[in-house]
Amino acid sequence: MDISTLQQRLRQFASDRDWQPYQTPKNLAMAMTVEAAELLEIFQWLTPEQSLSLSDDQRCHLGEELSDVLLYLVQIADHGGVDLEAALERKLAMNAIKHPPKKS
């Protein structure tokens, strides 16, 4: 599914539930942060090593939280007027300049 299709689908979903008044970038940013923290909670008492070998249940839970974050993320881009794919390419280019690779 491409991003703009997903964004349109989420706009329709919100509209069918009369949620539009709540869909401001400010509120959506709060909701995305809440979901990011729910994802963080999965790992809070695990060692870094344990976080690399999740059980099936943990992996399923992780997939749900990742999806929740992603769904708010594309809605913030949509309602905030950001072209997400263009922003992503720009950021990847910036990161390559900011962090030059190690020479061996």
Interacting residues toward a copy of itself by CB under 8 A: 1, 9, 13, 16-18, 22, 24-27, 29-34, 36-52, 54, 59, 62-64, 66-71, 73, 76-77, 79-92, 94-96, 99, 101-103
Provide the token pair at 42: 């999965």
Shortest distance (Å) from residue 45 CB to a copy of itself:
5
The CB-of-4 to a copy of itself minimum distance in angstroms stands at: 14
Closer to a copy of itself by CB, 11 or 43: give it.
43
Closest approach of a copy of itself to the CB of residue 55, in Å: 11
Under DSSP, the state recorded for 49 is T
Tokens coding 97: 């300049």
d(C-alpha 4, C-alpha 85), whole Å: 10
Distance of closest approach, residue 15 Cβ to a copy of itself, in angstroms = 9
Instruction: Return d(Cα 24, Cα 80) in angstroms, integer.
Output: 8
What is the distance between the alpha carbons of residues 92 and 104, in angstroms, rounded to a whole number? 23
Would you state the structure tokens that stand for residue 5, as one six-digit string? 């299709």
